Every structure is written in structure tokens, then in C-alpha cells.
Chains A and B, each alone.
Chain A
């Protein structure tokens, strides 16, 4: 093999490999951050649970739950409970933009937790929820 074909082969391998390498598991950086925060908040904390996350999503507080706007199915589009405005699906399998911007996720946790729970969510609640969302296939 001469140098040029070697170079071409290497480029080809890199081109094929790089997107999958860059697109790590969605939400994994988020989960790391929440994990560290949860360790600080709860001394006995071990790991997130997708099952708890799912329960959290469906749990009713008074009349509202997260599902009031996002519907019971995270792969389906939702509708804002007060304004009727359409909301794109939450699960990354259905909507690749989700969980890709940590600041945006934090912004919406702040708003939505206030809305539904009248308080901020704990790091464990957020981590459980994200763990569940990424597990939805």
C-alpha cells in the first residue's frame, strides 16, 4: 500500500467512526453532573433509577403532573396545559435535540418543577428522570 491510499483509508475510517464517537449516550454528561450533586445532597445515594424517574413523571400533584403538558408517552408530542401550544416529544429517541443542552434542561427543570411541585426538583429526581428518558426506546 502506498502512502496516499493509506491516508485515504485512515480518513475513511475516521469519517465513519467520528460521528458515533462524538455522539456519546445522550444525557450522559447531565447524568454525571446530577450524580455528583446527588451524592452531596443525600449521603446514602447510590445510583439513579429509571423506574423511579418514570413514576416521578406520571405522579400527580393536585391536578397536574409532568404528563399534563408532555402527555403520558414521552415519545409523543405534547400540548401546553394552559396555552394549548404544541410541544415536541421529550424522549431523545423521538427528538434528537432533547437533553443536548444542559443549560436548557436546567432552565426547564426550574420552570416545570416550580409549576408542578411548587418547589425545585432535587438532583436525584432530575437524575432519575433523565435516566428514564434516555432509557425510553
Chain B
């Protein structure tokens, strides 16, 4: 027996990145707050599977599908043989392990693509935005979740199989997937290392990740994959983002001269300062009673920019220097940056009138979500 290379570098990288992206996507599905990350891992997984399909045709010896073209029946037979303790050792994928490979690739594809449609339907975000509405998106989500759970089951079966095989043939299969090496009879052909392609794969994944997060820094991640201009002009459904808490009193007292700016658009200290100065509110005396002010603060402070994960809240809060207390949303650096490129003529449009007339351009201004899909400059 001598040690030879069985799993080439691209295959090993694929294996671990695929496992990682699935695990990460599974974990980030937990909360909507991580939706952007979840979508990222989904796209990553789809890209990896795409690579694997190609590599199954042109990769090195043991990576090729032709080296483990076993049907389900062969897989079952092999499993039975393993359980009774006399299954033959395979250098590449054994017939039962091959079933796991095909199932995981297939389920990964289905889960990934269904995810694209959930995102497009429910959120009106991503590559399939506008393909259908919320209801269909929500239905697909049921299937998406089911597929992901099924995939997790197959992962567990795969892990059990690896453990069983390792024990039966007294070799550490997991370590082989790291080093690529396995013991073989002299004269057995080894795999080509394909280091360059492995490095290219790694570079592509890194660039994709970096690009995504760089983009996310400036733009909502959800928009990745492209909202076309038509969708911008007319959102396919009136966009309803993650709903933020509302207050009837806030609406009543702060929503008649201008729209009731959602408290998540300024830090708590700004609201405290605005309400302390309510008798000099942009040259108006609001004439509010102390009890009313206290109730308004009790809504504004726990819902201020620090407290919400909506994109606008998070970015506005991050943009305001710690020693500043802006009294206008329209003076926060993030707001200024986002609106810098709007033409002077658009601001002068009588339908807009004031920078503070957010609802003129943002259909969801009352809700405070400020989704891209809900934005339209009146012309």
C-alpha cells in the first residue's frame, strides 16, 4: 500500500465550502434580520453547485460523475453489505456515498432556486423580484423550508455513512477530504492535483463575497441580482417591508403638519431634544402638554434608530457622529448622501415642496421602511 492523491484541490474546496454555505444558510434562516446573509449563502451555494456539475464532467479522475455512476439500487445493496460488515472498499465515492452526493447536489439546487423565488415573491427583492406576489412567494417558502430540512437529513445520513465506512475500513475519511490522500494498492492511478483551478475557485468565491459585502455597504443586499428599471418605476406589489411598531398618539400629534416620521429615523437623543423644544418646533409652538410629551417619548425612545434593524434605522444611526444631535432627518449624513444626486428640479416640483415630504417619493414613508422598491420620484 502507498498513499496517493484521490480528491483534487477544487473538489476538496467545493466540499467544505458547500458544507459551510449550507450550514450558514440554514442557521441564518432563523431571523429576517439576517435575510441578506441568508441570501448571500444561498447564492454562494448555487454557484458552488454549478461549479461541481462542470467539475463532474471535466475534473480529475475521482471527481468525475463517470467514476461513481451508481443507481439507488446499487447504493442500497452497498449499504446492506456495509451493515453486515463485508462491503468492499472504494477509493472514490462508494455506491451509497454516491447517492448522498447526488441527493445533496439535487436538493441544494432545488432549495437554492426555490429560495430565489421566495425572495422575489415575498420581499420583491433579488433576481426574481416581481415574478409573482407575496402569496405565491409565501407558498414557495413552505416548499423551500421543506427542501432545506430534507437536505439536512441527508447531511446527517451522509455523516453517519462516513463514520460507518471509516470504522469498517479503519481509515479516516473526513481527514482524506481535507488532505485529499488515501492509501491505495501500488499502481493505482492518482488524481491530478489541479491546484491552479482550486486557487481560481477560491479567488472567485472571495471576490463574490467581497463584492457582495462591498455593495451591501452602499446598497441593500436584497437588491443584488438586479431590480430592473421597470420594477423601480412601478413596484409589482405595493411594497410592505418588515413592519415597524406604530402609535396612534404619535400619528395624531406628529402626523398632521408633515407625515409622522417614524422614530427609527433618528437616534433617541434627537427625539428627546425635539420634544423638549416642542414650543419652538421649526418656528411653530406645538403647545403640547407635558403628559402628552411624556407619552410621545415613551413611544419614540424605545423605537429610535438605535433600536431597529431596518436598513434606514441602522444606516442613519451609524452615520450620525456620537457627539451630534441632529433635529432633522434630512441633516443626517446618511440621508444627505442618499439624496445628493436628486436633481434640483425634482426638489422644486410642487408635488415635493420640501425635503421633509418623504411620502412624495417613498410610498412606504408612513411605515418607516424606505424600501428601494417603494421609491419613485414624482415627475
- In the complex, whether B343 has a CB less than 8 A from a CB of chain A is no
Contact with A along B122-155 (1 / 0, CB 8 A): 0000000000000000000000000000000000
Q: Does B286 contact A (CB under 8 A)?
A: yes
Query: Chain B residues near A111 (CB, 8 Å)?
Result: 284-287
Return chain B residues, CB-CB under 8 Å to A107. Answer: 287
8 Å CB contacts to A: which residues of B43-57? none
A55 to B357, CA, bound (A): 31
Is residue A47 contacting chain B, with contact meaning CB distance below 8 A? no
Interface string of B241-258 (1 = CB under 8 A from A): 000000000000000111
A115/B353 contact (C-beta < 8 A), A83-B257, A85-B256 known: no
The smallest C-beta distance from B254 to any residue of chain A, in angstroms, reads 11
In the bound assembly, the distance between CA atoms of A110 and B360 in angstroms comes to 28
Query: How far apart are the CA atoms of A36 and B286 in the complex, in Å?
Result: 26
In the bound complex, do residue A84 and residue B286 qualify as a contact, i.e. CB atoms below 8 Å apart?
A: no
CB distance from A8 to the nearest CB of B (A): 39
Q: Is B172 an interface residue when CB atoms closer than 8 A count as contact?
A: no
Taken together as a complex, chains A and B put the C-alpha atoms of A114 and B257 apart, in Å, by 15
B286 → chain A, closest Cβ, in Å?
A: 7
**What's the least CB distance linking B74 to chain A, in Å?**
71
Q: How far is the CA of A31 from the CA of B176 in the complex (A)?
A: 91
Q: Complex formed: what's the CA distance from A3 to B258 in Å? A: 58
In the assembled complex, the CB of A68 is this many whole angstroms from the nearest CB of chain B, namely: 12
Instruction: Assess the B360–A84 pair: CB atoms within 8 A.
Output: yes
A84 to B360 alpha-carbon distance, docked (Å): 9
A80 in contact with B285 (CB, 8 Å): no
B287–A84 touching, CB < 8 Å: no
Closest to A108 in B: B256
**A98 to B353 CA separation, bound complex (whole angstroms):** 26
- Residues of B near A115 (CB, < 8 A) are 284
What 0/1 pattern do residues 114 to 130 of A give for CB contact below 8 A with B? Answer: 11000000000000000
Residue from A83, A84, A110 in contact with B285 in the complex, judged by beta carbons closer than 8 Å: A110
0/1 per residue, B347-373, Cβ < 8 Å to A? 000111110110110000000000000
The answer to whether A102 has its CB under 8 Å from any CB of chain B is: no
In the complex, the chain B residue whose C-beta lies closest to that of A106 is B287
Q: Does A87 contact B (CB under 8 A)?
A: yes
Q: Does B259 contact A (CB under 8 A)?
A: yes
Q: Which partner residue on chain B sits nearest A107 by CB separation?
A: B287
Q: Which residues of B contact A80 (CB under 8 A)?
A: 257-258
* B287 pairs with A83, CB closer than 8 A: no
B-side contacts of A82, CB under 8 Å: 257, 353-354
**Residue among B257, B284, B285, B357 with most chain A CB within 10 A:** B257
Alpha-carbon gap, A114 to B287, bound state (A): 11
User: Across the two chains, which residue of chain B brings its CB closest to A84?
Assistant: B353
On whether the beta carbons of A84 and B256 are closer than 8 Å, the reply is no
Expressed in whole angstroms, the minimum distance between the Cβ of A79 and any Cβ of chain B is 8
B351 neighbours in A (Cβ, 8 Å): 84
B360 partner residues in chain A, CB cutoff 8 A = 84
Distance in angstroms from B261 CB to nearest chain A CB is 11
Binary CB contact string for chain A from 86 to 122 against chain B (1 if under 8 A, 0 otherwise)? 0100000000000000000001001100110000000
Q: Which of A82, A83, A87, A107 has the largest number of chain B CB atoms within 10 A?
A: A83
Q: 8 Å CB contacts to B: which residues of A64-85? A: 80, 82-85
Supplied contacts A84-B352, A85-B257, 17 more A-B pairs, CB within 8 Å: A80-B257, A80-B258, A82-B257, A82-B353, A83-B354, A84-B351, A84-B357, A84-B360, A85-B256, A85-B259, A85-B357, A87-B256, A107-B287, A111-B286, A114-B284, A114-B285, A115-B284
Contact surface of A with B, Cβ cutoff 8 Å: 80, 82-85, 87, 107, 110-111, 114-115
The 10 closest A-B pairs by CB, nearest first: A84-B353, A83-B258, A84-B357, A83-B354, A85-B258, A110-B287, A80-B257, A83-B356, A83-B357, A84-B354
10 A-B Cβ contacts within 8 A? Answer: A82-B257, A83-B257, A83-B258, A83-B356, A84-B353, A85-B359, A87-B256, A110-B287, A111-B284, A114-B285
